[in-house]
Structure 1
Amino acid sequence: MKTFDTIIIGFGKGGKTLAAELAARCERVAVVERSDKMYGGTCINTGCIPTKALVHRASIAALRPDTPFDEKREFYRRSIDWEQGVVEALRERNYRNLADNPAVTVFTGSGSFASADEVEVTTAEGTERLRGRRIVINTGAESVVPPIPGIADNPRVHTSASILTLGELPRRLTIVGGGYIGLEFASIYASFGSEVTVLEGSPELIPREDRDIAAEVMHVMERKGVRFHLGARVLSIKDAGDEAVVTFSDGANGRREVHADAVLLATGRRPLTEGLNLAAAGVETDERGAIRVDGHLHTTAPNIYAIGDVKGGLQFTYISLDDYRIIREELFGDGSRTTQNRGPVSYAVFIDPPLARVGLSEQEARAQGFDVRVKKIAVASIPRVRTLEQSDGVLKSVTDAQTGAILGCTFFGPEAHEVINTVSVAMKAGLKADFLRDFIFTHPSMSEAFNELFA
């Protein structure tokens, strides 16, 4: 049996960063990753990096809408090859960063708890048992595959991971699920030149957002050619040889069919705990399958932590990174950093244009009893967008009418994923709306819209 100070199951953002930190402090660390295609975690291999690489290439394709489809198909094929090259380079770099560290041992195999301080690892060479005085679970999440007849072994059905290696641009793409992941892929493939249909089971699109924002997103995407069916229940997906036939019901119109060259399942993600044998370690999960943790990320076993997507909540790589900081500060600092005092966390959806938000929506603020002041401005009114030729979208601020505190902000427009961070910093620092109202921003820029948005 090999003994380590810390065993980390999963090679994701928080886990790999913690491994490097502990190794620098002369601890012996084991990192267990079940797939050699996942060094670096979801973000690098099947999430943020490959999808945002395709967002970039799709934006180039969108500038040439009149290109014949055969040329669009070739540009897409080259884009997939380039995106996969980016992923492979980053995966190798992440692997080498840990594998070449003499204090870190990387095991490529499946990890399973034998007890609260022992992990059994099954590799291609066999099985061995590791013991660690501290264990960190960082296994991430996986795509939810709904029990729809016709999905199993259907070569035309993809998840958000498998579609990233699809070398042939589908002329017709049907996306099951209209959440944030589904919308990102809808935007990407519509820009590349596919005819995109989104089947969303809910009667509302992106219900987390205010209805005026969701309506604007839907309107902009429909103008780009994306077709939406809300309240759609998918009944079956049939492989008809040269196409897929998706049968669905949307209530008002009964059973309907849509024909596609490819189908993407974008029906959510769930914590990846299968095969971990958590019961042997005394680690409990909640009703959604996420590992239960306290504010310092301890599980129900005191020496075992859970970080990243596997513990539920916001599934972002920067949350996993902040989880690392919480553990670092508990081990080597004063332990004051917790999940409860992260402050407002912004997020972005990389559609075209991107949608980003931080803090409360108008609906949420009113539901919490705030005396709300709301301000909205059209993106088209911002001078910078005229130079970008991107005038779609809207900006919205929500402030406390009594105190001037910034409660939330939604930015649906060019560079939203960047400029939303300005609002996040202001909120974290406790700055009020008048700070952004009177701040001197460069011109022309998207940021200067805050002068008006918070007026």
Structure 2
Amino acid sequence: MPTSPATTSHVDVLIIGFGKAGKTLAGLMASAGKRVALVEQDAAMFGGTCINIGCVPTKTLLHDAEVGTPYPAAIERKNGLRAKMNAANLAMVEKPGAMVIVAHAEFVGERRVRLSAGEECFDMTADQVIIGTGSTPTIPAITGVKPDPRILTSTDLIVTPSLPPRLAILGAGYIALELANMYAHFGSEVTVYNRRSTILAAEDEKTRDAVATVLADSGVTFLHDTEIERVDLPHDQAAALTIHAGGSARVADALLIATGRSPNIDGLGLDAAGVEVADGAIRVDDFLRTSAEGVWAVGDVNGGPQHTYISFDDHRIVVDQILRGKGESGRSLANRGPIPSTTFITPPLSRVGLTAAEARARADEEGWDVAVATKDVADIAAMPRPKAVGDPRGFMQFVVDKTSGQILGATLFHVDSQEVINLVSMAMKHKIPYTELRDAIYTHPSSSEGINEVLKMADA
């Protein structure tokens, strides 16, 4: 069971935040003989955002949406899985001997943290303090938007027990589109309000158009170049809300605000610790050291890519410093390598490295002979798996430098792309020529074998 804040006054390592990096570090440090305290202010968040309100719950719901599970049953299954994983994560940390303390943590000096739980308050010092407090949804200032059951963040939406018949979404980034896709599959009438002229601004035109087409076919309506000016919320919370945007008014049963996430730094007392902040995030060097001696920042709170697996990789960087004493030769942000990502729509969109446009823009400077190999899944003869499971939509695209043979980037929009992209990312990190992937033997039927056919196009 979690420990009372007043159990001890000094530890070797104090970790603030029970997320992916924090829990992994707590277990490793305790197993190495360190006296470790892991502080989390909300017991419902043992294990972090990913298993409780992020990756795992949303992908559980997405699966059920795709196979036609009724929404209430999907919510029940998701809640059961979350509860099991929450408990398992607590056990995983406590088994090697780390203390878990449920309390709010605030720095009151250099490596001195005040822990508060109800009326109980206690100061704890540590040789090393690791901050891993994650991030929370950003809520823009919009007239009429206030705390209300009909105004939702992603956290709120996935615990809503009843399916909103009409769901409005503010935002057209990755999280917004994942949830638009999911709730459209559950049966909601989904409208996306996008202040830009297109979705997914970081992607190339082919990708944006393909994703927009797939989502539109699923029933998602896009309103581009549209700012929400005002939201009217009737006093009766069971009544629909009215959204005023672009000179017209539309009604919806719920408004999801999905306009990004911000690092959780409020209330940490960072000034007292001498920890500097830049652009709303804790400033760190390549080894995740903050401006304060013996204080580290991992995961979303340091302003890096907001992915659970980045938080996990952050723990490796800190371990190399605290446990292995590798210093400048240790793992770092500088030697991390390419970072793959997946947007879990249907089918999933995965990417790593540069887009074709980005590669061409740098070609002269880098001395690259850029070749782009692109083919729609429906036209890839040696890729039967998407067709076998009934979803031959999407495409494969690889960007290569023919001079060195290196893969510069890939965009995969197809069934199983979340798995195939990891193979491409590893090849890029280890500088394996594209010809090796082109000529590799893949299982059949699989989505990976499409690589054989598409990469042949780079030879032309």
Q: Provide the TM-score with structure 1 as the length reference.
A: 0.94
1:21 equivalent among 9, 25, 28:
28
Cα offset for 1:213? Answer: 0.6
Per the TM alignment, residue 78 of structure 1 is displaced from its structure 2 partner at its CA by 1.1
Instruction: Determine helix, strand or coil for the equivalent of 1:276.
Output: coil
Aligned residues: 436
CA distance in 1, matches of 2:336, 2:262: 23
Q: Is the 8 A contact 2:195 2:224 kept in 1?
A: yes
Q: In the alignment, which residue of structure 2 is the partner of 1:375? A: 373
Q: Corresponding residue for 2:13? A: 6
Shift of 1:125: 4.4
Report whether the alignment pairs 1:304 with 2:295: yes
Q: Which moved more, 1:399-408 or 1:4-13?
A: 399-408
Give the Cα–Cα distance (whole angstroms) in 2 for the partners of residues 104 and 383 of structure 1: 49
Q: CA deviation at 1:437?
A: 0.8
* Separation of aligned partners in 2, 1:285 and 1:126: 29
User: How many angstroms apart in 2 are the aligned matches of 1:174 and 1:357?
Assistant: 27
Aligned partner of residue 221 in structure 1, secondary structure: helix
1:267 aligns with 2:227: no
Structure 1 contact 437–450 (Cα < 8 Å) conserved: yes
Q: Any idea what SS the aligned residue of 2:387 has?
A: helix
Counterpart amino acid of 2:401? D
Q: Which digits, 9 at most, give the CA deviation of each residue in 1:344-380, with x for residues without a partner?
A: 1101010000000011111221222343211111011
- Between 259-268 and 234-243, the greater mean CA deviation after superposition: 234-243
The answer for the alignment partner of 1:69 in structure 2 is: none
Amino acid at match of 2:33: C
Deviations 1:81-101 (A, max 9, x none): 110111111111111222454
2:322 pairs with 1:325: no
The TM-score normalised by the length of structure 2 is 0.93
SS at match of 1:340: coil
Give the Cα separation in 2 of the matches to 1:174 and 1:310: 29
Cα RMSD between the aligned structures? 1.3
Please tell me the residue identity of whatever aligns with 2:72: R
| 1:214-268 deviation per Cα after TM superposition (whole angstroms, max 9, x unaligned) | 111001111111001112111122223420111112xxxxx12221111111010
1:7-156 correspondence runs (5 A): 7-61=14-68, 75-101=70-96, 103-156=97-150
| Counterpart contact for 1:375–1:398, Cα < 8 Å | yes
Superposition map of 1:159-308 within 5 A: 159-240=153-234, 241=236, 242-249=239-246, 255-287=247-279, 289-308=280-299
What letter is aligned with 1:316? H
Contact 2:29–2:323, Cα closer than 8 Å, also in 1: no
Instruction: Report the residue type matching 1:265 in the other structure.
Output: I
CA deviation after TM superposition for structure 1 residue 391, in Å? 1.2
Aligned to 1:67: none
Deviations 1:381-426 (A, max 9, x none): 2322221110111111111132221000010010111111110111
Cα separation, 2, equivalents of 1:79 and 1:197: 22
CA contact (8 A) 1:107 1:123 kept: no
Q: Which amino acid aligns with 1:14?
A: A
- Aligned equivalents of 1:125 and 1:26: distance in 2? 32
Give the whole-Å Cα distance in 1 for the aligned partners of 2:165 and 2:309: 35
- Tell me by how many angstroms 1:54 deviates: 0.5
Specify the code of the residue in structure 1 equivalent to 2:292.
Answer: A
Worse overlay, 391-400 or 179-188? 391-400
What is the percentage of aligned positions where both structures have the same residue? Answer: 40
Distance 1:21 1:100 in 2: 11
Matches of 1:256 and 1:277, distance apart in 2: 45
* Letter of the structure 1 residue corresponding to residue 305 of structure 2: L
Q: Distance in 2 between matches of 1:290 and 1:410?
A: 29
Q: 2:331 aligns with which of 313, 325, 337?
A: 337
Q: Map Cα deviations across residues 182-222 of structure 1 (whole Å, 9 max, x no partner).
A: 00000100111111111111222101111111111001111
Measured in 2, the distance between the counterparts of 1:276 and 1:163 equals 27
Q: CA offsets per residue over residues 265-311 of structure 1, 9 Å max, x none?
A: 10100100010010001101112x11111111000012100000000
- In the TM superposition, what are the counterparts of 1:349-360 in structure 2 within 5 Å? 349-360=343-354
SS in 2 for 1:134: strand
Q: Distance in 2 between matches of 1:450 and 1:269?
A: 35
Shift of 1:154: 2.2
Q: Indicate whether 1:431 and 2:432 are aligned.
A: yes
Give distance in 1, aligned partners of 2:81 and 2:50: 12
Give the letter for the 2:251 counterpart: H
Unaligned runs of 5+ in 1: 62-71, 250-254
State the SS of the aligned residue for 1:161.
Answer: helix
- The answer to whether the 8 A contact 2:157-2:256 is kept is yes
